[in-house]
A and B are shown apart, each in its own frame.
Chain A
């Protein structure tokens, strides 16, 4: 589309851009000019650390919505949204069995938009699990794991596990009946392992029952260890997409 068209003459955008941004401060932040020529459009991607996750050009079948349904991107978007809302929740939440439940309750009744933030965090977490599963299905049914993308599929499976663990550890934090018993059921599953089961459950919840130790362990895993790991593996995931020559397409 835009690439094959010849650059047009100066339009409203250029005029506005000139007025607003043609100054020393703006150009110290954004090196490239207004992205209305192929050159500037490529520079806009290549000189921006966030957009630089992308290549500057991409095969045209891959911008078709029906190729990826944006599922990987949306999983990532959920991760970002969860990070933002999660940080906000952390302002109000203390992982102590005497406080946690009250904190969540106070968040709902006492904090402006507290309920909204909690709801957002909750629903986005559920959505992320679903989106990651759907992303895996799309990758599978488009045969996008084939060489040279084998390893990125493996990284993906690790990300799936991390997503599930993130969601699972977060489930305990409201410290209500739903949380306590879901985690009890869940960790009992881990405890059923033939030889190391009892031990691994002990390590996971720091005791024989889901109690204060479990809460602090799950909290730490949920807010720092697992997100960090997920971020690392996502970086590898995105890096590998570029290294493997972009998205898969027929040879």
Chain B
């Protein structure tokens, strides 16, 4: 244990001696703890395994898809993330970045202060708490917003005082009717009251008069969202500079995969699937650290790491819980009691059949009749 420093000076050997006094023997002190922990866990798991059976549904059948289909619980957070952004971003880029992020923590935060004790730096507990609340509130709000829950709640507000009337969502109103710059104000208003994320792509609309569009040839004189932004050519895809004249067959196959010879951007889709989620994922943590810094709680890299790591843990578990307990048929956001229990779904519930004969072990004491064949 004690670091093998050469006991050169007398002071050094005193230090070593003091360290020795702080030490206990692994046998018995540690070995017994390990032994007891192992015994306790063994007992707990034997009891657990006696009373709770591992699930087994019907035999796998590619033709019957359970609804909802869910990943194992520790990947349900990713599955939940997929509902909120581009699949590649949620399924691969974000997890990869997170793993890399986890791995670089110790290379970024190298100060030894507070090492080896729980919450060893001055403000670490409050920072953890702040990040816990901040991340918890934001992730809940984001999930609800992406689901359009705020619209539903708003529409049903009159029910609080017993009326059956439904309110019209703010985004559907137009307080600027007839104003001189209505065409600018209304889209801003709409943007503030977007019902959800995908509405940026699908229903948000504006149209500005543009007398001249560079390189556009004949045009209708207006710039419309989303219509005019659906096919933005990207460099090298054959519309800029030179033209490939269709598929560049002279390229090797893999290059054709990678090379955007025929693709272009749909800005509305990219906004909804990439830009908005990335702003949320990068901007909110950054804002948190900025605030922590401004209110004087976070001073060191360790402080920032505590805030970020706590946020990661909160979001990891929050997404897992939402994915597991709040996603019903078609991945709709529903209260837990409306999430179907697959183990009771008749289409996939196990019909217990006797096993085929070659699998019945020849133990006469076990009464299980085989099916023929």
Q: Which residues of A pack against B, CB within 8 Å?
A: 1-3, 35, 38, 41-42, 44-45, 51, 54-63, 65-67, 70, 73-74, 77-78, 81, 97, 99, 101-106, 108-112, 115-116, 118-124, 126-127, 129, 137, 140-147, 149-150, 153-154, 157, 161, 164, 167-168, 171, 174-182, 184-186, 188-195, 197, 209-211, 245-251
Contacts and interface: CB of A to CB of B under 8 A. Distances in A.
Contacts of B106: 145-147, 149-150, 153-154
A177 B26 contact: no
Contacts of B45: 81, 120, 123-124, 127
A77 B112 contact: no
Contacts of B24: 1-3, 57-60, 63
17 contacts: A41-B28, A57-B25, A62-B30, A70-B34, A97-B60, A105-B56, A105-B352, A110-B361, A142-B115, A146-B112, A178-B348, A182-B72, A188-B91, A189-B92, A193-B91, A194-B92, A251-B112
B359 A185 contact: no
Contacts of B74: 129, 164, 167
A141 B41 CA distance: 24
A55 B2 CA distance: 10
A249 B88 contact: no
B136 to A, nearest CB: 16
Given A142-B117, A143-B117, A250-B120, A192 B53 contact: no
B249 interface: no
Given A97-B60, A140-B309, A185-B70, A245 B54 contact: no
Contacts of A149: 106
B52 interface: yes
Contact of A55 (B1, B28, B79, B352): B1
Nearest to B21: A4
Contacts of A99: 359
Secondary structure call for the A interface: helix
Top 3 closest pairs, chain A to chain B, by CB: A119-B49, A192-B87, A150-B106
Interface in B69-123: 69-75, 78-79, 82, 87-88, 90-93, 99, 102-103, 105-107, 109-112, 114-121
B294 interface: no
B270 interface: no
Range of interface residues on chain B? 35 or more
B23 A157 contact: no
A65 B56 CA distance: 37
A33 to B, nearest CB: 12
A57 B71 contact: no
Contacts of B55: 176, 178
B14 interface: no
B59 interface: yes
B208 interface: no
Nearest to B343: A178
Contacts, number: 290
B59 A176 contact: yes
A102 B355 contact: yes
Contacts of B38: 77
A63 B48 contact: no
B295 interface: no
A58 B30 contact: yes
Interface in B109-149: 109-112, 114-121, 124, 128
B368 interface: yes
A192 B92 contact: yes
A174 to B, nearest CB: 6
A40 B65 CA distance: 63
Given A35-B28, A60-B23, A101 B41 contact: no
A65 B259 CA distance: 56
B234 interface: no
Interface string B1-20: 11100000000000000011
Nearest to A145: B106
Given A123-B52, A147-B112, 18 more contacts: A38-B25, A54-B26, A57-B20, A57-B24, A63-B30, A77-B37, A102-B59, A115-B53, A119-B49, A120-B46, A124-B45, A137-B313, A142-B116, A143-B121, A176-B55, A182-B71, A185-B69, A189-B91
B273 to A, nearest CB: 12
Contact of B54 (A119, A129, A177, A188): A119
A169 to B, nearest CB: 10
B29 A245 contact: no
Contacts of A178: 55-57, 66, 342, 348
Contacts of A73: 34, 37
A118 B45 CA distance: 12
A141 B302 CA distance: 10
Contact of A70 (B1, B33, B117): B33
A144 B109 CA distance: 11
B360 interface: yes
Contacts of A141: 118-119, 124, 128, 306
